[in-house]
């Protein structure tokens, strides 16, 4: 089964993309940020209160072994499941 596209909101910067949660892994540690899938605007958390510069995101990516859009399991691990947009269906269950 394909993982659902989990997103927090529509991007407030470009108004085109979805703000999704991205996981970075470095050895046995996982880190996450929120990032627009269209313009790459990034934030430190799903509250979208603090932006991260493109330079910092690129540095973080270069220091990590991999990055990908977060799975539902990872979103729950970070404690961010409550920020997933409420109109999505996750594994057949409405998140409202």
Distance CA 35, CA 89 (A): 20
R_g of the chain computed on alpha carbons = 13
Neighbours of 9 (CB within 10 A): 15
Pair 72, 6: CB distance under 8 Å: yes
So what's the pLDDT on residue 2? 53
So what's the pLDDT on residue 95? 44
pLDDT at position 42 over 70: yes
pLDDT in tens, 85-95: 877 655 544 44
Burial of 40 (C-beta count, 10 Å sphere; 0-12/13-18/19+): middle
pLDDT in tens, 44-61: 999 999 999 999 999 888
The pTM assigned to this predicted structure is 0.83
């Amino acid at each position: 089964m394909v993982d659902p596209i989990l997103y927090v909101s529509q991007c407030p910067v470009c108004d085109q993309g979805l703000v999704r949660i991205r996981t970075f892994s470095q050895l046995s540690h996982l880190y996450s940020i929120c990032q627009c899938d269209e313009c790459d605007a990034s934030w430190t958390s799903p509250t979208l209160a603090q932006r991260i510069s493109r330079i910092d995101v690129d540095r973080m990516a270069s220091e990590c072994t991999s990055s990908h859009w977060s799975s539902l399991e990872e979103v729950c691990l970070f404690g961010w499941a409550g920020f997933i947009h409420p109109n999505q269906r996750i594994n057949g269950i409405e998140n409202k």
